[in-house]
């Protein structure tokens, strides 16, 4: 196209010689002052005169402009259309307007808007060109943005996204809205959106109220009941946003609706359970209040006795001290009874749920092998039919092609394997719940401590795993060769839960790469004395450090958090002492853990921590609560497994 343009007239009209002194020479000042590019082009296609703005815009010199035809500066793809536009000047005689891309000195192209007119007397074309590159790019960007938005709305399946005109009539409908509300686009567009509301909401003007608030405040959000096409009701979270043009004129509304029925049902069930638990706590508190009143009455009696025993000053001081300790113990016991009642109710609820889930899952899991075998038998029978009757009917061929029989036969084994894997995972979760709850185990028994720790970690997985914006907590399980331990399994699991939860609370807000390390081991030697074990006063029957009575299970739970000061560490196991914010803890968790380990199991619970060095909780409990017989010791089974795994 460029070759044809050189030396070729751009307008087919009789050529006349241009006078040496052209009338346009007197307009130099206008040329110099114009912010647009001005060209005077001959009918041969060459530029005769141009203003400085041409050099400034395209960076070519005047000599470079006049040495080539005008079409040489036009983008190759735009030359044919440009030439066609210029040739119109010879036919219509009126000015024309068009746009194209023109070459710059650096090799880039700019979009120009051209206005051209022909002077028949002078045989010249007067052209004004304006750089519209920026507006072209803005327009293209806007079109691309609108296309992306359209694709985004159409791809959303879980949200109903649609638009309303200012009066509330539906004007757009996405696939998510069709899935949620069951209307196809051709069924709902043009109808008023009040058809989605129950009759009682329509009667009290709820749809109009939403549009009024959105138009006034710009946005309206609500949760409520809606209707599907089949008349069924469901809960939604809906956001209505007013759409206005740049002049502030209301153009309509956009509405985003999310189905929250499952969440509402879960909230109602949780609230019901909470109310029931609260009722039981109140009843228990009333009983404790009555006991407290009796104790206060007893204190009054003792105060009267104090007057009679004033002569024995030391004895009076001892009694006063005992009463103060009893009152403190009462307050502590009251709070702990409330906490234990909550944990007992929660354990019964968890164990009941685990039992109810386990029955149908066991039924499904037990039948999967039979179902898989039956299907394999049917597939084998089908293969025999294919081998012995290779000539099938057209109807059978169509059916085989419709269901993709080869793929079905290859995939069905994978299907049953996947179902069996999912059922096994549910059984593992149920087992973790039952192992943690242990509500039916009120007596001491020999248990695998590692299984209790694993069950607790399984229940805390949602707080340990990585999520958006949170790196997750790595758990390192360095288990030693720990035998079965005689203990209260449910109470010990409660200790693990409290200690791990406290560590997680600290690491969630103070550490970028949080790690919890759990290690176990057996220690041989003298443990805590009989007096230190509270109600247990037995002593080792032998001085041999390898005696069964001198074996202690050590469980260490360490974190790499910020640590704590010595003042905090000393008060760590005091009732009602907490460093958490209001509403996040009562300060009873570690106190209860201390009582379970020390008073219930005759062990020790200690903390090692310094600021900036993390914290480590050490649990030490006797492996045997009474001196075992040698035969029983030799026949004690080993734990089922040792898990050496780093969880993250």
CATH value at residue 579 = 3.30.565.10
pLDDT of residue 584: 55
- Residue 477 clears pLDDT 70, i.e. is over it: yes
Longest dimension (CA), the chain: 143
572: nearest Cα among 538, 617, 626, 534: 617
DSSP reduced 3-state for 479: coil
- Residue 200 clears pLDDT 50, i.e. is over it: yes
DSSP reduced 3-state for 409: helix
What is the mean predicted confidence (pLDDT) over 161-189?
A: 87
Q: Is 434 a domain residue?
A: no
What is the mean predicted confidence (pLDDT) over 587-592?
A: 73
User: pTM value?
Assistant: 0.37
Q: Which residue has the tokens 């599907």?
A: 228
Residue 69 is part of which domain span?
Answer: 2-135
Are residue 585 and residue 485 in the same domain, yes or no?
yes
Are residue 550 and residue 642 in the same domain, yes or no?
yes
pLDDT of residue 17: 37
pLDDT of residue 576: 67
Are residue 158 and residue 219 in the same domain, yes or no?
yes
Q: Is the distance from CB of 256 to CB of 332 less than 8 angstroms?
A: no
pLDDT of residue 627: 57
Question: How many domains, in total, are found in the chain?
Answer: 4
Q: Above pLDDT 70, what percent of the chain?
A: 74
What letter does residue 190 receive in the DSSP assignment? T
pLDDT of residue 389: 81
Q: Is the distance from CB of 95 to CB of 19 less than 8 angstroms?
A: no
- Residue 545 clears pLDDT 70, i.e. is over it: no
What is the mean predicted confidence (pLDDT) over 105-109?
A: 91
Q: Above pLDDT 90, what percent of the chain?
A: 15
- Residue 641 clears pLDDT 50, i.e. is over it: no
Are residue 283 and residue 384 in the same domain, yes or no?
yes
Q: Is 234 a domain residue?
A: yes
- Residue 511 clears pLDDT 50, i.e. is over it: yes
Are residue 408 and residue 379 in the same domain, yes or no?
yes
- Residue 268 clears pLDDT 70, i.e. is over it: yes
Identify which has the larger pLDDT, 269 or 512.
Answer: 269
Q: Which residue has the tokens 């969440």?
A: 263
Tell me the pLDDT tens digit for each residue of 124-140: 989 999 998 888 888 87
Are residue 375 and residue 410 in the same domain, yes or no?
yes
Question: What CATH code is carried by the domain that includes residue 110?
Answer: 3.30.450.20
Are residue 167 and residue 54 in the same domain, yes or no?
no
pLDDT of residue 280: 86
What is the mean predicted confidence (pLDDT) over 613-622?
A: 91
Are residue 498 and residue 585 in the same domain, yes or no?
yes
64: nearest Cα among 87, 40, 45, 46: 46
φ, ψ (nearest 5 deg) of residue 219: -160, 145
Residues 176, 65: Cα–Cα separation, whole Å: 58
Are residue 109 and residue 151 in the same domain, yes or no?
no
Tell me the pLDDT tens digit for each residue of 406-439: 888 888 877 877 787 777 667 666 666 666 555 4
pLDDT of residue 1: 37
Q: Is 436 a domain residue?
A: no
Q: Is 523 a domain residue?
A: yes
Are residue 253 and residue 332 in the same domain, yes or no?
no
Q: Is 437 a domain residue?
A: no
Are residue 586 and residue 487 in the same domain, yes or no?
yes
pLDDT band at 22 (very low <50, low <70, confident <90, very high): very low
pLDDT of residue 493: 84
Tell me the pLDDT tens digit for each residue of 220-239: 988 888 889 898 988 988 89
Residues 253, 174: Cα–Cα separation, whole Å: 15
pLDDT of residue 87: 85
What is the mean predicted confidence (pLDDT) over 351-372?
A: 70
DSSP reduced 3-state for 288: helix
Are residue 278 and residue 354 in the same domain, yes or no?
yes
**Structure tokens belonging to residue 411:** 């995939």
597: nearest Cα among 494, 520, 473: 494
pLDDT of residue 435: 60
Identify which has the larger pLDDT, 440 or 234.
Answer: 234
Q: At what angle do helices 405-437 and 489-510 cross, to 10 degrees?
A: 110
Q: Is 201 a domain residue?
A: yes
Identify which has the larger pLDDT, 93 or 506.
Answer: 506
């Amino acid at each position: 196209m460029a070759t044809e343009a050189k030396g070729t007239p751009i307008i087919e009209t009789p050529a006349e010689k241009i006078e040496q002194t052209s009338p346009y020479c007197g307009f130099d000042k206008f040329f110099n002052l114009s912010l647009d590019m001005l060209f005077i082009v001959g009918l041969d296609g060459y530029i005769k005169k141009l203003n400085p703005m041409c050099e400034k815009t395209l960076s070519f010199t005047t000599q470079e402009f006049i040495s080539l035809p005008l079409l040489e500066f036009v983008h190759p793809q735009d030359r044919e259309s440009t030439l066609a536009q210029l040739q119109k000047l010879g036919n219509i005689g009126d000015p024309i307007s068009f746009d194209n891309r023109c070459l710059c000195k650096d090799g880039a192209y700019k979009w120009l808007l051209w206005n051209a007119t022909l002077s028949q007397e002078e045989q010249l074309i007067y052209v004004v060109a304006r750089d519209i590159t920026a507006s072209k790019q803005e327009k293209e960007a806007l079109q691309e943005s609108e296309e992306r938005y359209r694709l985004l709305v159409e791809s959303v399946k879980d949200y109903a996204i649609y638009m309303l005109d200012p009066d509330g009539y539906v004007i757009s409908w996405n696939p998510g809205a069709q899935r949620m509300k069951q209307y196809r686009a051709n069924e709902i567009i043009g109808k008023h959106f009040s058809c989605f509301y129950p009759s009682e909401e329509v009667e009290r003007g709820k749809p109009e109220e939403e549009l009024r608030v959105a138009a006034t405040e710009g946005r309206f959000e609500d949760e409520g009941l809606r209707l599907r096409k089949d008349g069924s009701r469901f809960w939604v979270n809906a956001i209505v946003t007013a759409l206005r043009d740049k002049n502030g004129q209301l153009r309509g509304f956009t509405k985003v609706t999310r189905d929250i029925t499952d969440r509402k049902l879960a909230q109602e069930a949780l609230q019901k359970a909470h109310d029931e638990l609260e009722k039981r706590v109140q009843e228990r508190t009333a009983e404790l209040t009555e006991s407290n009143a009796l104790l206060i009455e007893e204190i009054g009696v003792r105060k009267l006795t104090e007057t009679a025993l004033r002569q024995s000053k030391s004895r009076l001081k001892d009694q006063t001290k005992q009463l103060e300790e009893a009152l403190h113990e009462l307050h502590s016991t009251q709070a702990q009874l409330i906490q234990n009642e909550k944990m007992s109710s929660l354990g019964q609820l968890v164990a009941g749920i685990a039992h109810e889930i386990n029955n149908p899952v066991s039924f499904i899991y037990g039948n999967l092998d039979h179902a898989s075998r039956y299907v394999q038998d049917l597939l084998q029978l089908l293969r025999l039919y294919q081998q012995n009757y290779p000539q099938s009917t057209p109807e059978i061929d169509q059916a085989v092609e419709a269901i993709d029989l080869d793929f079905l036969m290859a995939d069905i084994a994978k299907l049953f394997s996947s179902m069996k894997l999912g059922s096994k995972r549910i059984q593992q979760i149920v087992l973790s719940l039952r192992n943690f709850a242990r509500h039916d185990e009120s007596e001491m028994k020999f248990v695998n401590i590692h299984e209790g720790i694993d069950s607790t970690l399984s229940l805390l997985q949602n707080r340990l795993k990585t999520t958006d914006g949170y790196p997750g907590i790595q758990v390192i399980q360095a288990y030693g060769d720990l035998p079965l331990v005689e203990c209260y399994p449910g109470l010990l699991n409660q200790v693990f839960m409290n200690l791990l939860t406290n560590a997680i609370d600290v690491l969630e807000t103070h550490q970028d790469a949080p790690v919890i390390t759990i290690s176990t081991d057996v220690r041989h030697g003298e443990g805590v004395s009989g007096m230190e074990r509270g109600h247990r006063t037995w002593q080792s029957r032998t001085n041999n450090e390898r005696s069964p009575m001198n074996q202690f299970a050590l469980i260490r739970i360490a974190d790499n958090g910020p640590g704590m000061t010595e003042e905090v560490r000393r008060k760590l196991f005091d009732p009602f002492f907490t460093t958490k914010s209001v509403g996040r803890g009562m300060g009873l968790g570690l106190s209860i853990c201390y009582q379970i380990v020390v008073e219930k199991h005759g062990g020790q619970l200690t903390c090692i921590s310094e600021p900036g060095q993390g914290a480590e909780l050490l649990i030490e409990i006797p492996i045997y609560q009474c001196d075992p017989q040698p035969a029983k010791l030799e026949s004690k089974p080993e734990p089922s497994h040792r898990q050496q795994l780093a969880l993250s």
